[in-house]
Structure 1
């Protein structure tokens, strides 16, 4: 049996936790993010070549869960959460691949982590009989995935904070369409305000004593770990067929999806180069260009789910590379893509090749285009994070036709939706969470 891992805060001022404790808490008591004391190692031979995505996930994550109360439940958790396809599809005109992560119930990659986290929390006993409140800040897709994963789950309520007017209309409808135990708050601010408010609530010991809280953002280890599964599964399949690592271009804002890919590579599985595609929020690309890390207020872009000026997972990224910024800069490349280029990329690929991408995926496709134009022939996979139909008001005028809507998304759009207004204030959120009328 594998030795149990302990989990520590990236800020080093919190006690060690078990996997279950880290997943249940979301954020460490000192405000840091939980990381394992070390990343386990893995090899292709450890995995069943005929196994499903859920099978790959169960094998990959077993060392993280070893010795924990959830260890025996891990295969069932994976089977419950990872029951939809994540196909790797060829892009013949670019001699590349696209990894489609949008076939879950809310048409975005966030379904993987949200469903896994919900499956974990359902299995963890709680001494407190009061409902657990799951707080989630969203720039567009996370909130809907969390709402769907926890909808009508007993003894749990979900409070979703999103920047009013800065998500697509269909995303906003998804966020407010659940009702029951899921409430949406439209915040008069940006995503970074929503994220700050959630972190302030989670770090408020007095509030936690009154209202038990946890998080479902990518700060949660229970969201990050399962996202590793599709990179491992895809890279292993490519390795078996081609005998070479697969390189990935990952659209990213809060760095959780990118970090999942990097952790798979750090464990020893056949992931090659990883490149990060960002929108006009240039905090991360500027750091990799040699500037000091300097979080700032986010700017609104077409790729709104990546509108992050202060990415939380940067702490985990630094930890992954031993806190050495020079090593980190050598290991990764990040590039900003502005709105005009996103529009051009969507229109050009639709017109010339019949391929339709969402604005986030288009940032990665642009990086692929530039690589191919420079003669790069390596095996790249672009990570497609959301279905383009979620962004119909942006994409349809560029491609000149209506987009088919996935059936699960269409069903959500047929429901009524509502969201309560909320100022961008830590105190306003605290007061709302404590109000019995809002329970």
Structure 2
């Protein structure tokens, strides 16, 4: 698999080089040089396979012979060794595709665990140099990455997150592990955390001396893993409904939407997507006006989407350009906290307990879906991760899943830091 740097097309790397580098020169994102297309007959075969077998087949279209099929299958099996996604009917023509049945109760388990398996594969080939995973999280990435790499030999993980701006259980899931997992509460926004990560990758000396890598969705391995569950969704939908499917994606850094678009590029007959955001609506405003004008990030109850400068948007634009798709046909919209609360109550009346991110996706899907279409909205996190918020809005008591009950009383092990690069640099060099 060859990939090129979106900011310097002369820089080309293979799949494993892209994983190790994370970002290219000038902080450019890597993007596939070839966009494979699955023939319709083969697509039908894939949709009949089990989730693991299908996923390893899909990933092989991108990775090629850089890893043999048997080893790839084993790595995918280890990565996705948890309950597969579920399709839950909400109304006659709308269903929630639940992606939160993994170890950290969020969709990001798929990408983080696959990336960990790919790095483990590299390490088994005698590459025992230290790898430092530096990543920023607005909520769910932190836990998924921490658990995926916890205890892994020659890997240390540093996770930055905006202090006081993620839920209690999101924080508990990754700030109580210790060992090779180091967490830093930054007194600022997610965008400031993300800026610190980018500055670190720009520091050549720091990057080389610490073996710096990123597990954000900027890393191509995470993105490719997420393609797999879109195929799982199709396998669960009746054949007669597969030709008019609209998918509403809760968007923060836009990696999940990018993966869905790549699934469409591969051959899935997805009619359209809706890029669903909260009040941090840089992309919806851009699609409406043609002006890219990020505002200061606003804290919302859908905190994992509190991102004003989404990293993956250049990949979305590149794919639309390469496929000659019309960007104006991408659905979009933003939902306020007040509307989100009303939507959570509406879903409760329909017999479904959701959480803020999925509620936003449902709200926009319901508003835009036509009668002859079938709509999916992605359930990206378990409602219990936002226990206090959900209980206050819905006036219910949410039982804690075992995974959260185990960590409920554990102490936080985080460091505290201002959004200061010199301070972070010293920390990275000293640990």
Q: Report the TM range for the smaller structure's normalisation.
A: over 0.9
Looking at structure 2, the residues matched to 198 and 304 of structure 1 have their Cα atoms a distance apart, in angstroms, of 19
Out of 387, 392, 399, which is 1:397 matched to?
A: 392
Q: Does 1:407 align with 2:402?
A: yes
Do the aligned partners of 1:252 and 1:258 also contact (CA within 8 Å) in 2? yes
2:21 aligned residue: 25
Do the aligned partners of 1:238 and 1:245 also contact (CA within 8 Å) in 2? no
TM-score normalised to the size of structure 1? 0.93
1:211 aligned residue: 210
Looking at structure 2, the residues matched to 392 and 158 of structure 1 have their Cα atoms a distance apart, in angstroms, of 27
Out of 424, 433, 437, which is 2:419 matched to?
A: 424
1:41 aligned residue: 37
2:297 aligned residue: 298
**1:193-232: CA deviations, max 9, x gaps?**
1111111112211101211111000000011000000002
Give the direction of change, closer, same or farther, for the CA distance of 1:377–1:414 in structure 2 (3 Å limit). farther
**1:17-39: CA deviations, max 9, x gaps?**
01110112111133111111021
Looking at structure 2, the residues matched to 356 and 38 of structure 1 have their Cα atoms a distance apart, in angstroms, of 41
2:154 aligned residue: 155
Do the aligned partners of 1:227 and 1:260 also contact (CA within 8 Å) in 2? yes
**1:338-385: CA deviations, max 9, x gaps?**
1100111112321x222111110010111133236xx54410011100
TM-score normalised to the size of structure 2? 0.94
Looking at structure 2, the residues matched to 115 and 187 of structure 1 have their Cα atoms a distance apart, in angstroms, of 25
1:110 aligned residue: 108
Looking at structure 2, the residues matched to 36 and 55 of structure 1 have their Cα atoms a distance apart, in angstroms, of 22
Do the aligned partners of 2:147 and 2:174 also contact (CA within 8 Å) in 1? no
1:197 aligned residue: 196
1:79 aligned residue: 77
Unaligned runs of 5+ in 2: none
Secondary structure, aligned partner of 2:352: coil
Looking at structure 2, the residues matched to 404 and 180 of structure 1 have their Cα atoms a distance apart, in angstroms, of 29
**1:251-272: CA deviations, max 9, x gaps?**
0111000110011111222222
Secondary structure, aligned partner of 1:134: strand
2:181 aligned residue: 182
1:355 aligned residue: 352
Moved runs in structure 1, 4+ residues, more than 3 A?
Answer: 47-50, 69-72, 125-130, 239-243
Give the direction of change, closer, same or farther, for the CA distance of 1:422–1:71 in structure 2 (3 Å limit). farther
Alignment RMSD, CA only?
1.9
Matched residue count: 427
Map 1:123-272 to 2 at 5 A. Answer: 123-125=121-123, 129-238=128-237, 240=239, 242=241, 244-272=243-271
Unaligned runs of 5+ in 1: none
2:331 aligned residue: 333
Looking at structure 1, the residues matched to 106 and 331 of structure 2 have their Cα atoms a distance apart, in angstroms, of 24
* TM superposition shift of 1:11: 0.8
Do the aligned partners of 1:236 and 1:270 also contact (CA within 8 Å) in 2? no
* TM superposition shift of 1:172: 1.5
